[in-house]
Amino acid sequence: MLAVVIPAHNEAYLIGQCIRSIIRASRHSNLEGEEVRIFVVMDSCTDGTGLIAASLGAQILSVEMRNVGAARAMGAQAALAQGARWLAFSDADTTVAEDWLVQQLNCRTDVVCGVISIENWAGHGAAVRRDFTTTYRDRDGHRHVHGANLGVSAAAYVAAGGFRPFASNEDVAFVEALIAANASVAWSAATRVVTSARLDSRAPNGFGAALRAVSLQLAAADGMANDTVSQACEDSERFDAAP
């Protein structure tokens, strides 16, 4: 059995499309009918996330911690208890490719770190999008770690001690623990998801926060450039006015 774990905090608006994409991936012919179970871990939810997820066939777990690491760990433990041999992780604001699970298994490694893409850049300026597209390495061997696109064998998960209860960067810490435990890692561009660039991201120091930081840095750099130009103009005016 394969398991997909999705942490969620008030994701009623997005959880449906996330789960439907996973269901499509679970029906890929190359999985040869192997069962795929979806676990949605509701962390401090007060909206209809659970009702929507359950209506689509997902198993619902609840935690009141506002901690994505703890949520992922709870989902993983439930999946392992039900006999999962492979654990795939994504996020509620993410949709996965139809061959997402197939490509993870095709890597034949203990761990698969996939890539992300963004289709909706609403709320961000062109400079932020340009910075992402020019600095993000969308190729094999990329070295990016995304909780929205991560897979691990059950044995490797247990050997590395699972996710730690971190509110952010739990995915990076987990992959570091896996590497320390000598797990084999595929840095694959074939395992793909589309994720959100939303401004109201859930993890305080996650991907959304990183985008906001880039936006602030670019704005500051632009402001400094404008100040430099203004100063140059003032200097030129003073020079022209000098006797």
Give the mean pLDDT of 137-164.
98
Work out the end-to-end distance of the chain between its first and last CA atoms, rounded to an integer number of angstroms: 85
Alpha-carbon distance values, 55 to 33, 63, 190, 234 (Å)? 22, 20, 30, 66
- The whole-model pTM stands at 0.84
Question: Who wins on pLDDT, 229 or 4?
Answer: 4
Element housing 41 (H / E) = strand 36-43
Measured between alpha carbons, how far is 138 from 72 in angstroms, rounded to an integer? Answer: 25
Domains of the chain, with CATH numbers?
Answer: 2-241 (3.90.550.10)
Q: What is the mean pLDDT of the chain?
A: 88
pLDDT confidence of 4, banded at 50, 70, 90? very high
Query: For position 206, what pLDDT does the model report?
Result: 58
Q: How does pLDDT run across 12-56, given as a tens digit for each residue? A: 999 999 999 999 999 999 999 999 999 999 999 999 999 999 999
Max Cα-Cα span within the chain = 87
> In the structure, what pLDDT confidence band is assigned to residue 199 with cuts at 50, 70 and 90?
confident
pLDDT score of 243: 36
**Residue whose C-alpha is closest to residue 194's, from 118, 83, 110:** 118
Query: Does the structure show a pLDDT above 90 at 74?
Result: yes
Query: At 116, which helix (H) or strand (E)?
Result: strand 111-118
Q: What is the pLDDT of residue 225?
A: 37
Q: How confident is the model at residue 192 (pLDDT cuts 50, 70, 90)?
A: very high
Q: What share of the chain is helix, strand, coil (3-state, %, to 5)?
A: 45, 20, 35
